[in-house]
Amino acid sequence: MVAQAHTAQQSAALLELRNIQKWFGGVHALRGIDLTLQPGEAYHLLGENGCGKSTVIKIMSGAHPPTSGEIVLGGQTFSSLTPIQSLAAGIETVYQDLSLLPNLTVAENVALNEQLVNANGRLARLFDRKRLRETAARALAAVGLPTDRAFLNTIVSDLPLASCQLVAIARAIATRAKLVIMDEPTTSLTRREVDNLIRVVERLRSENVAVLFVTHKLDECYRIGGHAVVFRDGQCVAQGPIENYSKKELAELMTGRSIDAQRYRTSKPSEVVLLKVDHLVTDGVRGTSFSVKKGEILGITGLADSGRNELAMALTGVVPAAGGTMTLDNKIISVRSPARAIEQGIGYVPEDRLAEGLFLDKSIFENEIALIVSRLANSFGVVDRDKGREIAARLSEEMRLNTKNLDLAVGALSGGNQQRVLIGRWLSIAPKLLVLHGPTVGVDVGSKDTIYRVIQALAESGMGLILVSDDLPELLQNTDRILVMNSGRIVAELDAAQATEDQLYKAMLANTTETVQ
């Protein structure tokens, strides 16, 4: 408290944003943000994907200039910051992508920035290797990583992801930070590492350092405590001690509508069998048989090594099955490749949409029509762009994309919108069967809601859907039946309307020999 009173004399706040506006081309990303951060306090910046959270932290760290507004930092008023100004003022950021340099060593990633900032960004300076090691070792010890020479000299691209996340945090606390911003810092951490991180945060706060979290994990926010700051559509809609809000209230503030854990499933499946799978065998899947009716949504779950991923890839030709038969619409089909699967009318929304599904630097338009380009082309191979745009516009409308600009690069969209573009692409070929693999991984509450509604509308139109997911509430809310896989076999089939998460968990974790009986 003494320290706080002391800083209060110099300047009331650590950092103050005044009426910050930000435009990206035609997109109004921030609509007048006022935010005051006090030393030693923890803040949780909450909001849906695309609400402006990332933009606001980029403005604080100097990565983007605001279009208008003021930033008050250490008693000085700025219209925009450079990365060096921001770092020199003690604002450290742990980016969601971690922003580690993959080709440099752990020590350099952690401690090189201290020397860069001390040199005020000038590069014609000697670099102090001894000091680099010392600073790095101190910071690594604070986050619970090893500090021996071998680890300090490890190239970052050789580290597992969880260690990378801790290395990024170590960099943020390596110098005399006054504000540490953490953008989804716990996504790849285990429980123990999260506990360790929370201890680090407590220590930082006791040293009068402010911490700003950007996260979707509300449980962790409550554990850490502090202030909630809720963003929606580029505006700050609520601010206050986090314990004053319930989870439900926060979700409503973020989305602007009331979201209940309702069951989305509306229509009933038909009695006509669409897909019949007989003794399908592939690497990790040992002879599974099941069927999907027209208009049915079938859930498939299991642990990561249960064979559910391999099953999805076999059904869609990504990794063709080694044995067994598939019958679609009473015809025996073989899907040796994704192209064959598409011809047969089987669509696949992969789990890793960034790596497997989307062309990030291409426009929404180009992504949406990727599957039907050959159909849009005339006999000379010239693509009818106008017709393509028409189709892309209709799909975007159906998927309720939050932009009308079809020329925007998909990489510029938020995760939820990217997923909608990907699903929209599949609608363009109107598949008979659509396999969705983890469709809401990394997607916020509001986008989830939209995606669920689209899934239901597709089933209603008579399409068969297979939803492979480890999000159990998602399966219970959206499907007719749920198959649980365990060690390459289907060990349980449950009616989604009656099943509970508990039952699913038990089947997933059961020792296989027990369940076979």
**Site of interaction with another protein (CB under 8 A):** 61, 63, 82-84, 87, 95, 97, 99-104, 108, 112-113, 115-117, 119, 121-127, 155, 158
Closer residue to another protein (CB): 30 or 111: 111
Q: Which residue has the tokens 């338009």?
A: 365
Cα–Cα distance, 240 to 43 (Å, whole number): 9
Cα–Cα distance, 488 to 277 (Å, whole number): 15
Q: What one-character DSSP code corresponds to residue 461?
A: T
Q: Which residue has the tokens 């190239």?
A: 155
| Exposed/middle/buried for residue 233 (C-beta within 10 Å: 0-12, 13-18, 19+) | middle
| Least Å from the CB of residue 411 to another protein | 12
Closer residue to another protein (CB): 127 or 359: 127
Q: What one-character DSSP code corresponds to residue 495?
A: E
Closer residue to another protein (CB): 360 or 383: 360
Closer residue to another protein (CB): 115 or 267: 115
Contact partners, residue 274, CB within 8 Å, separation at least 6: 291, 292, 293, 294, 296, 328, 329, 432, 433, 464
| Least Å from the CB of residue 50 to another protein | 20
Closer residue to another protein (CB): 71 or 458: 71
| Least Å from the CB of residue 123 to another protein | 4
Closer residue to another protein (CB): 123 or 261: 123
| Least Å from the CB of residue 158 to another protein | 6
Closer residue to another protein (CB): 125 or 223: 125
| Least Å from the CB of residue 152 to another protein | 14
Mark residue 18 as left, alpha or beta (left: phi above 0; alpha: psi -120 to 50; beta: remaining).
Answer: beta
Residue among 391, 366, 279 at smallest CA distance from 327? 279
Residue among 307, 281, 314 at smallest CA distance from 512? 307
Cα–Cα distance, 437 to 353 (Å, whole number): 10
Extract the tokens encoding 289: 């048989």
Closer residue to another protein (CB): 114 or 252: 114
Q: Give me the sheet containing 68-73, strands edge to edge.
A: 27-37, 15-24, 68-73, 76-78
| Least Å from the CB of residue 83 to another protein | 4
Residue 200's H or E segment, with its range, is helix 191-206
| Least Å from the CB of residue 108 to another protein | 6
| Least Å from the CB of residue 342 to another protein | 30
